[in-house]
């Protein structure tokens, strides 16, 4: 199920960041205590959706984003390695894009680490195009035009139904 983040999800979200995102980053360090301490504060701006196996279960994936100025900024997307390749990341991105489109955003933007070829291919599959390389951060900026969304997608993954649920 896809639901809004709850504060009690934060320890698991931080774990996903430590295990799935930081190893792919050229600028973040696994033992950067300051950065890890600031993560719960970072979740307070914008919106975070989590994917869980059950309504009250721990997150297996999440997307954190903000919609402002007619644009969607995807800040972070992480899926536990045991759940990658099942469509959960695509579903989370679709929910973030639908959220932004419902708020009249016409463009989605994100940054992907230059060393994360798997993520670059994932975003290309979702229709994101390369805008520029930012050498100071070792990232590519990608963008995608948004179209108005009418229905949020759902799917069945290994017997689990993932759809936007009430929190």
Sketch out the chain's domains with CATH numbers.
Answer: 2-162 (3.40.630.30)
| pLDDT above 90 coverage of the chain, percent | 65
Q: How much is the pLDDT for 57?
A: 87
User: Average pLDDT, stretch 136-145?
Assistant: 94
Q: How much is the pLDDT for 153?
A: 52
Q: How much is the pLDDT for 166?
A: 39
Task: Identify any residues that bridge with 4 across adjacent strands, giving them in sequence order.
Answer: 49
- How far, in Å, are 36, 64, 120, 137, 150 from residue 39 at the CA level? 5, 11, 23, 19, 32
The mean pLDDT of the chain is 85
Residue 70 pLDDT exceeds 90: yes
Q: How much is the pLDDT for 158?
A: 45
Residue 104 pLDDT exceeds 60: yes
| pLDDT above 70 coverage of the chain, percent | 81
Residue 45 pLDDT exceeds 90: no
CB 51 within 8 A of CB 61: yes
Q: How much is the pLDDT for 149?
A: 56
| Weakest mean pLDDT among 22-26, 34-38, 104-108, 156-160 | 156-160
Reported as a single tens digit per residue, the pLDDT across 47-60 is 999 999 988 889 99
CB 162 within 8 A of CB 88: yes
Q: How much is the pLDDT for 19?
A: 87
CB 96 within 8 A of CB 49: yes
């Amino acid at each position: 199920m896809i639901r809004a983040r709850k504060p009690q999800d934060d320890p698991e979200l931080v774990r996903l960041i430590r295990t799935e995102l930081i190893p792919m980053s050229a600028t973040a360090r696994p033992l950067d205590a300051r950065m890890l301490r600031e993560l719960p504060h970072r979740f307070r701006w914008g919106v975070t959706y989590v994917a869980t196996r059950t309504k009250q279960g721990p997150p297996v994936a999440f997307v954190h984003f903000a919609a402002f100025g007619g644009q969607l900024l995807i800040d972070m997307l992480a899926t536990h390695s045991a759940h990658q390749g099942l469509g959960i990341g695509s579903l989370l991105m679709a929910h973030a894009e639908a959220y932004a489109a419902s708020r009249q955003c016409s463009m989605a933007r994100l940054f992907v680490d230059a060393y994360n070829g798997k993520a670059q291919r994932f975003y290309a599959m979702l229709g994101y195009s390369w805008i520029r390389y930012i050498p100071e951060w070792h990232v590519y900026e990608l963008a995608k035009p948004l179209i108005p969304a009418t229905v949020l997608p759902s799917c069945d993954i290994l017997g689990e139904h993932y759809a936007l649920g009430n929190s």
